[in-house]
Amino acid sequence: MAGASLDDDGSGGRRGALGPILRTILIGVAVIFLVILLTTICLPPPSSSTAGTGGFCPRPAQAFVAVPQFNQQAVEVHALRRHAFRNDFFAQLELARRYEASRVNDKKLDDPVEAATWYALALSNASGFEPVGGSSGARVGGNGRAAQHYDDCRANERRDAYRHLDNLLARMSTEERDKVRRRSIYVLSTEGAEGFRTLARLHDAAYGPYGEPADNREARWSLGREGAGTAVNLFQRNDVDAYLYNYLAAQTGDVGAYVLLKDFGRTLQEYERAAPDRGGFANMVESKANRWIPPYEFYPPEAPDTGVPLSDESEPNSDPAEAALLRISRLPYAELSNALSYLRLLDHTVAKDTETPTSAIESFQAMLGQEKTGVLSPLQKVRLVQYAAVSGSPKAQLALAVMYSEGVGVPVDYARAYHWYETADKQGSPEAKYAMSTFFSLGMEGVADQDKAKAVAYQIDAALSGFGPSADRLQGILQRMGHSRAKAERDAQ
């Protein structure tokens, strides 16, 4: 009876009292859910305490280690570099924020040049501005609305990147800005045709400052009213470089670049007709393209003070490059030993890899900022010769020139080969002098025009430098790399 009284007298009243409370709670939960949803789609600019942990768009999961370890920061940075070298827009942004060192945990990584480099690469990345929702009318409702949010959040990401890049560049010297530009060009050049097309857009006045289409709504909004004056002038607009990079992209066999090149060629011809004093403009640009070489052999092996060493995470991106890498086994081990010795990682040269202390190889791998395995991978063998060459070793410079001439470890590239023969020659290498005479005797179109007088001069210099036995050594290297002495002599003639 008492229970009936409680139910009759109280339950209705309680429902009446709980109704507004439940509604209030539900509305509150809905508001919180909506706020969380909006913040994951389009966040406000990250503060100094959160920069580097997220951005305006929800971040894809990165390949980080789940269990903390003593070198977790290095593992994370190298994972980000691998993704960033593969043109991952969000990895590039995250890497830039890490090197900007806005978080306390990233202070050891503080490197304005590296931060600016990855902001510039993120801004040039088409994944940051290509619309995924089609036209504005197609974005109303359903998936179109989600696509609109994704376009908008990426526009916010790019606006923030413009702001950060502008601030970084404004505080830099001319030399530091040149480093940012050269590193950006190198990374894009490792991407093959896609990277060269991006470089062409960066220098083409028909596009935005970072290659964005002129009619791209999000790209125009990202640039903002302030214009990011310093950032937009990192890459200078000019027809020569725009044509050059389209030409390099077309040389990779890219059909799209070939079409762009033909259209650009017609523009250049019209330019020549309008300005007769610039006759042969297109031929001059093509000649420059044939001589063009990336600004680095590989990413500069530098590191912020006490920080994680920079690492080159580029990999062969074509069948010829991979085939050339397999041929690295033809390189005599003496060349690797000489490189290790020049870098002061070996006390004396050795004849076999089995005679090389594991510690020497691990020390070199540490210089590259890569895992210490004690065994050189094919790409690390190439990097070893390149590292010694850029550090000034005449032997490594000559070996690298031969590698580019013969496609051993690296694709055949006569412009690169000429560069390293010339560099070794300046250090007095008689073999390099002989190679230079061959270049000028035969003539390599766009690299070294045929010039018998120069060839004779180089041959005389080589003879005065004791060329006789040196010629045998050079031909021996060629022979061990898979070419017969007879072929080497025929090529020389």
Question: Is 309 contained in some domain?
Answer: no
Residues 204 and 338 placed together within one structural domain of the fold: no
pLDDT of 267 reads: 58
Per-residue pLDDT tens over the stretch 312-349: 998 887 788 888 899 898 888 889 999 999 999 998 88
Give domain status of residue 125, yes or no.
yes
Please check whether residue 388 lies inside any domain of the structure. yes
Q: Are the C-beta atoms of residues 338 and 325 closer than 8 Å to each other?
A: no
Are both 222 and 273 inside the same structural domain? yes
**Residues 280 and 324 reside in one and the same domain:** no
Instruction: Identify whether residues 100 and 238 lie together within a single domain.
Output: yes
Q: What is the pLDDT of residue 22?
A: 62
Q: How confident is the model at residue 6, as a pLDDT?
A: 35
Residue 46 lies in a domain: no
pTM over 0.85: no
**Domain edge (last residue) among 246, 275, 291:** 291
Residues 6+ apart with CB under 8 A from 232: 209, 223
Nearest to 400 by CA among 342, 442, 358, 454: 342
In a domain, 311, yes or no: no
Domain of 123, in residue numbers: 72-291
Q: 281 with 372, same domain?
A: no
Q: Tell me the HSE value of 183 on the side-chain side, using a 13 A CA sphere.
A: 25
Whole-number pLDDT of residue 165: 94
* CA 391/CA 405 separation, integer angstroms: 21
Provide φ and ψ at 40, rounded to 5°. -75, -25
pLDDT per position in the chain (493 positions), as tens? 444 433 444 444 444 555 666 666 666 656 555 545 444 444 333 333 333 445 778 777 654 444 556 678 888 898 899 999 999 999 999 999 999 998 888 888 999 999 999 999 999 999 998 887 654 434 444 445 566 777 888 888 999 999 999 999 999 999 999 999 999 999 999 998 899 999 999 998 889 899 998 888 878 888 775 556 789 999 999 888 888 898 888 877 777 666 666 666 655 555 555 555 555 666 777 777 777 888 999 998 888 877 888 989 988 877 888 888 998 988 888 899 999 999 999 988 888 888 899 999 999 998 888 888 999 999 999 999 999 999 999 999 988 988 887 788 998 887 788 888 888 888 887 777 767 666 655 445 545 544 444 544 454 454 444 444 344 545 554 554 444 334 444 555 5
Q: What is the pLDDT of residue 460?
A: 44
pLDDT of residue 343: 93
Which of 291, 307, 327 terminates a domain? The answer is: 291
- pLDDT, position 74: 84
Is residue 85 within 8 A of residue 144, CB to CB? The reply is no
Q: What are phi and psi of 449, to 5 degrees?
A: -70, 150
Note whether 96 and 226 are same-domain residues.
Answer: yes
How many Å apart are CA 245 and CA 253, to the nearest integer?
13
If you count DSSP H runs as helices and E runs as strands, how many of each does the chain have, helices first?
Answer: 23, 0
Q: Token digits for 150?
A: 């994704």
Residue 273, both tokens: 């007709």
Q: What is the DSSP string of 186-245?
A: HHHHTTTHHHHHHHHHHT-TTS-TTS--TT-HHHHHHHTTTTTHHHHTSS---HHHHHHH
What's 448's DSSP letter? B
Specify whether 349 is located in the same domain as 487: yes
Instruction: Please check whether residues 413 and 471 belong to one and the same domain.
Output: yes
Predicted local distance difference test score (pLDDT) of residue 50: 34
Phi, psi at 53, each rounded to 5°: -100, -10
The phi and psi torsions of 444 (rounded to 5 degrees) equal -115, 110
Classify residue 209: in a domain, yes or no.
yes
CATH code: domain of residue 347: 1.25.40.10
Q: Which of 480, 467, 394, 389 is nearest to 431 (CA)?
A: 467
Question: Is 18 part of any domain?
Answer: no
Has residue 63 been placed in a domain? no
Number of structural domains found in the chain: 2
Residues 327 and 280 in one domain: no
In this structure, are 226 and 97 located in the same domain?
Answer: yes
Task: Quote the pLDDT of residue 147.
Answer: 67
Are residues 213 and 81 part of one domain?
A: yes
Q: Say how many C-beta atoms besides its own lie within 10 A of residue 242's C-beta.
A: 24
Same domain? For 270 and 383 the reply is no
Residue at a domain's end among 238, 271, 291: 291
